[in-house]
Every structure is written in C-alpha cells, then in structure tokens.
C-alpha cells in the first residue's frame, strides 16, 4: 500500500461508518426517523465517497473503489429519497424491499470478491449485505423484527467500517513510511539520537 491509498481508505471507510450509523439508528428503533442532520450527512458523505472512489481507482485499489462507489450510490439515493418523501406518504413495502434487495445482491457479490482482502473488509461487506437483506425481508414481509435486525446489523457494520478506517491510519503511523522530506521515521530517530 502506498502513502496516498492510506488516506483514501481511512476517509472512505470513516464516511461509510458515519453515514451508516446515522441511517441505522432509526432502523434499529433508537429514533423515529432520520432527522435533518442524518439526511444532510448522507449527501455530504456520498459526495466524499465518490471522490475517494475516484482516488482509490487512480491508486489501483479496486476493492475499495467498488466499495466507495457503491456506498456513494447507496447513500446518495437514500439522501434523495429522504428529500423526496413528503410527510404522510410512503411507498409500498414490496417496492422498498426490491430496492434493498438489489443493493444486498450488489454488496453480496462484492463480498464474494473480497476473500483475498483483509478480514475487517470481508466482515464489513458481509455485514453490509446482510443488513440490506434483512431490510429487504422486513419491507417485503412487513415483519418489524427483520427491520430491527437490519438496523442493529447496520450499526455493527458501521463499527466495522470505523475499525477498518482506524486500522488503515494506525497501521500507517506504525510503519516506516517516508515523511514529506523523503526520510523514513527510523532514520529521523537515528539521526536525532546521534
């Protein structure tokens, strides 16, 4: 991993963690709806995920690129849905179920392609597609228990995204990556000790 891909992975996975957490709290039953801060953050983070997706593509990090573009699409469409829904209107559960199911399929096949990646990325993708599948079943069947399970799986998945973000930057700080002036940290310490 080169220096530049550390920042894109750190920022991208933190965007997924923050947006996922904000939209999963109401689904888990903690709040009655996604409030304006949640709607606003999904838009901003979807844009930032798009930028991180482009940068990871440039850096050759294919899996992260697909995850970030997929997350951007998921959260941007969620933002637009939140903006379009008028109070008292709702779409049929069967339609919402298909929305979540298609996203679940997408992230399921990304998960299948992640088996050579780090464990935390695999677990994040597993949690994400299971979250979306639970939400789809909850919409189709009208069973609140599946929706609630999807909300809690979303919270757990958001924690996994935050852990992935932290591992990227903490691992970077512990390795001997070049500083801005191209000296490695160990050489800097050696020179300072002399």
Length of the chain in terms of residues written: 194
| pLDDT above 60 (res 180) | no
pLDDT band at 92 (very low <50, low <70, confident <90, very high): confident
Q: Is 185 exposed, middle or buried (0-12, 13-18, 19+ CB in 10 A)?
A: middle
Q: What is the pTM of this model?
A: 0.83
pLDDT band at 4 (very low <50, low <70, confident <90, very high): low
Q: Across-strand partners of 44?
A: none
Angle among Cα 24, 25, 28 to the nearest 5 degrees reads: 80
Q: What is the CATH number of domain 3-173?
A: 1.25.40
Residue-level pLDDT at 96 = 87
- Max alpha carbon distance in the chain (Å)? 72
Residue-level pLDDT at 34 = 82
Could you read off the pLDDT of 145-169 as tens digits, one per residue?
Answer: 999 999 999 999 999 999 999 998 8
Residue 172 to residue 167: CA distance in whole angstroms? 8
- Alpha helix positions (H), the chain: 3-27, 36-58, 62-84, 93-112, 119-141, 144-174, 185-193
Where in the chain are the domains?
Answer: 3-173
CA 1 vs CA 9, 35, 60, 168: distances in Å:
10, 38, 10, 10
CA 24 vs CA 2, 93, 128, 151: distances in Å:
33, 18, 11, 5
| pLDDT above 80 (res 192) | no
Residue-level pLDDT at 110 = 96
DSSP letter at 184 equals B
| pLDDT above 50 (res 9) | yes
């Amino acid at each position: 991993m080169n220096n530049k891909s550390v920042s894109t992975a750190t920022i991208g996975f933190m965007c997924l963690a923050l947006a996922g957490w904000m939209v999963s709290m109401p689904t888990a039953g903690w709040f009655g709806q996604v409030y304006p801060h949640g709607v606003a953050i999904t838009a901003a983070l979807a844009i930032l995920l798009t930028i991180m997706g482009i940068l990871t593509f440039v850096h050759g990090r294919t899996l992260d690129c697909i995850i970030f573009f997929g997350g951007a699409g998921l959260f941007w469409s969620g933002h637009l849905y939140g903006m379009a829904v008028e109070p008292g209107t709702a779409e049929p559960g069967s339609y919402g179920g298909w929305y979540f199911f298609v996203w679940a399929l997408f992230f399921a096949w990304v998960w299948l392609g992640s088996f050579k990646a780090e464990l935390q990325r695999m677990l994040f993708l597993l949690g994400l597609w299971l979250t979306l599948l639970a939400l789809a079943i909850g919409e189709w069947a009208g069973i609140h228990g599946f929706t609630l399970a999807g909300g809690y799986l979303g919270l757990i998945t958001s924690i996994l995204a935050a852990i992935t973000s932290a591992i990227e930057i903490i691992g970077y700080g512990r390795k001997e990556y070049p500083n801005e002036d191209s000296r490695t940290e160990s050489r800097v310490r050696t020179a300072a000790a002399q």
